[in-house]
Structure 1
Amino acid sequence: MGCTQRIKQISKRVLYIKEKRGKQMYTFNGRIRYSEIDHRDQLTLPALINYFQDCSTFHSEDVGMGHKELMAKNRAWILSYWQVEITRYPKLCERVQVGTFATDFQKFLGYRNFLMKTEEGEELAKAYAVWVYMDMMKGRPVRLPKEEADAYGIEPALDMKIESRKVAVPERLEERESFPVRKHHIDTNEHVNNCQYVQMAMDYLPRDLEIRRLRVEYKKSAVLGDIIYPKVAAEDGVWTVVLENEENQVYAVIEVRGSLPQEEAL
């Protein structure tokens, strides 16, 4: 085999690998705002989730698969599972870079990783998420078209120990006062936004709990006017909040792991 022919074969192989690997990580830069921090002067967990969610939204918009394009086809990506790991919460005015990329597509499922770093490259938080491609008119999953998957491409997954998408519910749960879904909970899909469930759960956690891992299993979409019945459990450094309706149908199960500076009761 001649040298020129060999070079051409290698070049074709490199191009093929690049095409299969996709578009690399999509990123945007941000700065931690006063509206995003808590009493400890650090980013809140819901705000972190919103950074990740916004990053995936920007990614979709920039590859031509944004909100308007999907709505025109009565399609939407609905979150099924979050796993978020936090090394450090950034402080007020810190500059950060947020990134995301798809790691796989299987029929109607999409898998994504997320990453937040400082300007200097310090890893602050990372996440794994499973999304369902939905026909919003029929209310059921549908197969993702190849051209849409190709627009995103795929990349090797981050180094994370992925836990089960089924979040275990403790046998003993303490019931809390019910509350209605309000207008500010609702997003463009006319459902409670996925971050809002985490925000709801935060009200039942100790104030100074330093959360290091979050897992959320989304089971049923709550809509405006629904009544949510919270149930809470805490054991061995794990706090679980179950949000359900009056028929005990679960909207979401939120599990957090973390530590307290001192003993606090729920």
Structure 2
Amino acid sequence: MAGAVFAEEHRVLYYEADITGKLTTANILNLAILASGDQSETLGVGNAEIHAQNIGWVILQYNIDITRRPSVGEQIVIKTQADHYNPYFAVRNFWLETSQGEKLVDIRAIFTMIDMEARKMVRIPQVMMEAYQADKVKKIERIPNPMQLAETELPEVMHNFYHVRFFDIDHNHHVNNAHYFTWMQDPLGAEFLTQNEVVNINIKYESEIRYGSEINSYYKILPAVDGIVTTLHQIRVDNELMTEAEMKWRAVTD
């Protein structure tokens, strides 16, 4: 048994899509987090309430399965549910569905809570998780780590440079998690991104990236296996690993 499911409708807007007319992976994440934020507000544990206690949520890892990205103008339903938690970690589920109930995207996320000033992990207040009706457990269900680029490979693999701008920073005072998807996928190039459709993303956040940072986005495209291409990604600042991801893609057939 897990927490109550929260749902809200959304029409995909033109500025949420890429050149293919489909919702970007970054905006899939933005909509998911919007829904969880709206649920928190309805339960009285939204950002205003938790920030008043000098604490905030931080996402550690996502696993995202994509059956189909919705298109501009399509009416979708975003659902979310606080699943289970222990004193330091919480697991939340998200789904994007059509109005008819066809599942489009399935997301599992691991969160922790930090002191907003010290930027260090703190215990999650139990009263907060009780508001979500999530299950308390001793050990959370971990998401497997993404396949990793070896550090010895970095001089040989492809990479792009990006500068962290003021508008990349969110209300938690660090880079909006959705921006990492753009930094990781953009270097793959227009030809790859229009000829392939992402079907799974496993992304793990290691350290926070701050305003003004210069980042290196490394990537490697592995040979296709059974029609699925895997790409490996790392975001580094001053050679320190900040985020890594493994993405799986299938060729566009229509």
Q: Is the 8 A contact 1:220 1:250 kept in 2?
A: yes
1:245 to 223, 237, 244: 237
More displaced 10-residue stretch of structure 1: 107-116 or 40-49 = 40-49
Q: Does the CA-based 8 Å contact 2:2-2:83 persist in structure 1?
A: no
| Correspondences of 1:160-179 after superposition (within 5 Å) | 163-164=143-144, 166-171=145-150, 172-173=153-154, 174-179=157-162
Q: Can you list the C-alpha shifts for 1:7-57, whole angstroms capped at 9, x where unaligned?
A: xxxxxxxxxxxxx754x2011100111111222221111111111111111
Residue 169 (structure 1) shift:
1.3
Of the candidates 240, 246, 256, which is equivalent to residue 247 of structure 2? Answer: 256
Q: What residue identity is the alignment partner of 1:216?
A: I
Kept in 2, the 8 Å contact 1:96–1:118? The answer is yes
Q: Which amino acid is the alignment partner of residue 243 of structure 2? A: A
Q: Which amino acid aligns with 1:244?
A: R
Aligned match for 2:193, one of 204, 207, 217: 207
Say what the alpha-carbon RMSD is for the aligned residues.
Answer: 1.8
Counterpart-to-counterpart distance in 1, 2:105 and 2:213? 33
Q: Which structure's CA Rg is the greater one?
A: 1
Structure-to-structure mapping, 1:107-146, within 5 angstroms: 107-146=87-126
Say if 2:2 and 2:82, in contact at 8 Å, map to a contact too. no
Calculate the TM-score normalised by the size of structure 2.
0.87
- Displacement of 1:162 in angstroms is 7.2
Choose the corresponding residue for 1:180, options 163, 169, 184: 163
- Cα offset, 1:175, TM superposition: 4.2
The offset of 1:97, in angstroms, is 0.5
Q: Which residue of 2 aligns with 1:5?
A: none
Consecutive unaligned residues of structure 2, counting only runs of 5 or more, are 136-140, 224-228
Secondary structure of 1:115's counterpart equals strand
Work out whether residues 162 and 183 of structure 2, in 8 Å CA contact, stay in contact via their aligned partners in 1. Answer: no
Of the three residues 36, 55, 59, the one matched with 2:35 is: 55
Q: Conserved in 2, the CA contact under 8 Å of 1:175 and 1:229?
A: no
Structure 1 unaligned segments of length 5 or more: list them. 1-19, 156-160
CA distance 1:185–1:153, change in 2 (3 Å): same
Tell me how far 1:177 sits from its aligned partner: 3.6
Matched position secondary structure for 1:93: coil
Which protein is richer in strand relative to its size?
2
Matches within 5 A, 1:223-234: 223-234=210-221
The equivalent of 1:87 in structure 2 is: 67
Give the match for residue 8 of structure 1.
none
Structure 1 SS opposite 2:246: strand
Instruction: Give the counterpart of 2:177 among 168, 174, 194.
Output: 194
Q: Show CA shifts across 1:62-111 (max 9, x none).
A: 11111111111110010000111011111121111001011101111110
Q: Secondary structure at the match of 1:255?
A: strand
* Alpha-carbon displacement from aligned partner over 1:106-154 (angstroms, at most 9, x marks no partner): 1111100001111111111110000011112222111112211100112
The structure-2 alpha-carbon separation of the partners of 1:176 and 1:261, relative to structure 1 and needing over 3 Å to count, comes to same
Match of 1:43 in 2: 23
Tell me the distance in 2 between the aligned counterparts of 1:212 and 1:51.
18
SS at match of 1:215: strand
Which AA in structure 2 matches 1:260? Answer: A
Equivalent AA in structure 2 for residue 223 of structure 1? R
| Matched length | 235
SS of the residue 1:46 aligns to: helix
